[in-house]
């Protein structure tokens, strides 16, 4: 999952809040309202607030509340789809920050004999398949979004510090 702000982990809250915004949408506000009953029927394009989870002092949902649902359910929230889309499209410079994070991390870990490789993104999600239905085409997401991100990470972060760096990576979880 993406960040604590959406029952996940990994990205700092300030980045997640910046790329998600105050009122995330799946297609646009009007269409989302018109299609709300259909979205609810298939459990997509929902606001994370629908669960009524308690929040901590940072405004993050309590982990104990988040763990009452299968985490995979959160991937199709408006917030998660917006966050993944932002990462792949480098909205607000988040992909740049992601690459910089891995650059610094690799610089500090490449000489550690117990680190044998890097996995930049666990279980990547496609982003907003409602706004970009092509993402549902097998291999499309992997070729157009993930491969360029992985190539950038490998070239700008991993091999910068170790030309023999090993990167493990996963394809998009669905539909591949």
- pLDDT tens for residues 86-102? 999 999 999 999 999 99
Residue 20's pLDDT is what?
Answer: 94
Q: Which residues contact 116 (CB under 8 A, 6 or more apart)?
A: 166
> Over the chain, what is the mean pLDDT?
93
Residue 55, classed as helix, strand or coil, is strand
Other CB atoms within 10 A of residue 161 CB? 16
Q: Residue 120: which of 165, 82, 85 has the closest Cα?
A: 165
User: What residues pair up with 55 in beta bridges, in sequence order?
Assistant: 61
Angle between helix axes 78-89 and 13-20 (nearest 10 degrees) is 100
Domain spans of the chain, in order of start: 4-161
State how far the Cα of 111 lies from the Cα of 104, in Å rounded to an integer. 13
pLDDT of residue 1: 55
Catalytic status, residue 123:
yes
Q: Using CA atoms, how far apart are residues 40 and 43, in angstroms rounded to an integer?
A: 5
Q: Is 125 exposed, middle or buried (0-12, 13-18, 19+ CB in 10 A)?
A: buried
For residue range 5-52, list pLDDT tens digits in order: 999 988 888 999 999 999 999 999 999 999 999 999 999 999 999 999
From the list 123, 132, 145, 170, the catalytic residue is 123
Contact 119, 169 (CB under 8 A): yes
Give residue 63's pLDDT. 95
Taking the model in full, what pTM does it have? 0.93
């Amino acid at each position: 999952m993406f960040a604590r702000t959406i029952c996940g982990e990994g990205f700092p809250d300030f980045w997640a809040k910046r790329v998600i915004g105050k009122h995330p949408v799946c297609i646009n506000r009007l269409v989302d309202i018109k299609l709300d009953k259909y979205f609810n029927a298939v459990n997509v394009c929902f606001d994370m607030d629908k669960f009524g989870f308690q929040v901590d002092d940072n405004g993050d949902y309590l982990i104990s509340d988040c763990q009452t649902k299968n985490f995979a359910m959160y991937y199709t929230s408006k917030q998660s789809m917006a966050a993944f889309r932002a990462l792949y499209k480098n909205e607000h410079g988040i992909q740049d920050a992601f690459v910089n994070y891995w650059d610094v991390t690799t610089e500090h870990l490449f000489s550690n004999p117990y680190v044998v490789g890097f996995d930049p993104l666990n279980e990547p999600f496609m982003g907003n398949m409602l706004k970009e239905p092509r993402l549902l085409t097998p291999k499309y997401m992997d070729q157009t979004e993930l491969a360029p991100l992985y190539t950038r990470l490998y070239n700008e972060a991993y091999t910068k510090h170790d030309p023999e760096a090993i990167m493990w990576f996963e394809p998009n979880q669905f539909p591949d």
